[in-house]
Amino acid sequence: MEDSIMNLSDAADYLGVTLVTLRKKIKDGDLAASDDSIDSRQKLVKRSDLDKFLQGRGINPEQAFKLMEMRRKSRLEERSKKEDAQHPETVGV
């Protein structure tokens, strides 16, 4: 598996934690993060570091990835339902 890079939002989603919790883990030294070379205000985390973090807690990284995908799909479906409810005249167009 290639070592992909995630922004903090995606990394928090992958771990199933809030951004606040993820930032605390980084601040406490539990996870490493580096500055984004394009936007130094942003931090990036290696997926391999996230996988090691999960494995250290007895969590299968592949299962975590599947859960992340399910959460994303669920959020997209909820957003779509809200938009449909706000604009019923466009449903099915």
The verdict on residue 25 lying in a domain is yes
pLDDT at residue 1 in the model: 46
CA pair distance 44, 25, nearest whole angstrom? 13
Other Cβ atoms closer than 10 A to 47: 18
Q: Residue 91: inside a domain, yes or no?
A: no
CATH code, 24:
1.10.1660
Structural domain containing residue 39:
5-86
pLDDT tens-place string over residues 25-73: 999 999 999 999 999 889 999 999 999 999 998 988 888 888 888 888 8
β-sheet with 34-35: strand ranges across: 5-7, 43-46, 34-35
Look at the pTM and tell me if it is higher than 0.85: no
pLDDT of residue 64: 83
Count of domains for the chain: 1
59: in domain: yes
Is residue 61 included in any domain, yes or no?
A: yes
Domain for residue 34, yes or no? yes
The answer to whether residue 76 is domain-embedded is: yes
